[in-house]
């Protein structure tokens, strides 16, 4: 996949972020969106990255405790903040309604206010970014008000290409990049969570492909076999 203005790069918080060289971040900066997922915004490896979005679905349910630096980063960021409708107490510019099989959604939500919760904020926010903004006048007016109030430009949506980094997903290894948290990622806590999360990624990728959306994992040595993979050039790695 060529990283360009039509690509959204989703930066998860896996330990492989610490292996990325400055050249990698330079090339990834060509993307039309660079999205920090959960603790990735606080990772040492990302200290110079200019994120366009910060996404956190569980900032009010433990992330702030396990990644203490995220609170100030979230408060002060110039990036567009995306949270869950379950976290309205958290200030954000957009809130995603999380859906899954219980709502009849398996892999991808076509409603522009929703995101598929198959086990990762990384898929929820990509699903949301893959749909356009609502096009009715009331929604457009509300979006303009949010933008003006936050003093942030309205970011683009409707991306058809997604590239993931930091999406390690190694069995039994829920560690994070330096600075992104010392807790164990949910997918690695039990065999059930691991299989459920992998299944969710498989459904997400299948449904994205059916909609003409290209998804690729650039993470070196990833354990996620359900997502199409591409090797990073050697000069992108330390």
Structure tokens at 229: 């993979």
What ranges do the domains of the chain cover? 7-236
Q: Which residues, in sequence order, are bridge partners of residue 216?
A: 163
For residue 100, pLDDT over 90 is answered with: yes
- Cα–Cα distance measured from residue 117 to residue 79, given in angstroms and rounded to the nearest whole number: 22
What is the model's pLDDT at position 184?
73
Q: Identify the three-state secondary structure at position 115.
A: strand
Query: CA 63, 98, 9: angle at the middle one, nearest 5?
Result: 70
Q: How confident is the model at residue 60 (pLDDT cuts 50, 70, 90)?
A: confident
Structure tokens at 168: 């390690």
pLDDT digits (tens, 9 = 90+) for 126-146: 999 999 999 999 999 999 999
Output the pTM of the full model.
0.96
Q: Nearest to residue 178, comparing CAs of 46, 57, 73? A: 46
- Cα–Cα distance measured from residue 77 to residue 51, given in angstroms and rounded to the nearest whole number: 9
**DSSP one-letter code for 167:** -
**DSSP one-letter code for 181:** -
Phi, psi of 232 (to 5 degrees): -70, 145
Q: What percent of the chain has pLDDT over 70?
A: 100
- Cβ neighbours of residue 117 under 8 Å, at least 6 residues apart? 57, 98, 99, 100, 123, 124, 200
Average pLDDT, the chain: 94
Positive or negative, the CA dihedral 76, 93, 45, 66 is: positive
- Cα–Cα distance measured from residue 118 to residue 99, given in angstroms and rounded to the nearest whole number: 8
What is the model's pLDDT at position 63?
84
Q: Identify the three-state secondary structure at position 3.
A: coil
**DSSP one-letter code for 8:** E
């Amino acid at each position: 996949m060529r990283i360009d203005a039509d690509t959204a790069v989703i930066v998860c918080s896996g330990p492989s972020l610490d292996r990325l060289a400055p050249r990698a971040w330079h090339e990834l900066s060509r993307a039309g969106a660079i999205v920090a997922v959960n603790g990735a915004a606080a990772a040492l490896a990302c200290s110079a990255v200019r994120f366009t979005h910060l996404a956190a679905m569980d900032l009010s349910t433990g992330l702030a405790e396990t990644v203490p630096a995220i609170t100030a980063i979230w408060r002060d960021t110039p990036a567009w903040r995306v949270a869950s409708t379950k976290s309205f107490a958290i200030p954000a510019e957009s809130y995603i309604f999380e859906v899954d099989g219980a709502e009849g959604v398996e892999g991808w939500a076509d409603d522009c206010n929703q995101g598929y919760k198959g086990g990762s904020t990384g898929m929820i926010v990509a699903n949301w970014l893959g749909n356009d903004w609502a096009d009715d006048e009331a929604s457009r007016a509300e979006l303009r008000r949010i933008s003006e109030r936050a003093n942030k430009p309205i970011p683009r949506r409707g991306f058809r290409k997604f590239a993931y980094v930091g999406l390690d997903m190694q069995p039994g290894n829920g560690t994070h990049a330096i600075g992104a948290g010392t807790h164990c990622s949910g997918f690695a806590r039990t065999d059930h969570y691991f299989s459920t999360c992998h299944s969710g990624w498989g459904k997400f990728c299948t449904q994205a492909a059916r909609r003409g959306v290209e998804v690729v994992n650039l993470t070196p040595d990833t354990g996620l076999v359900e997502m199409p993979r591409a090797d990073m050039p050697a000069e992108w790695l330390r």
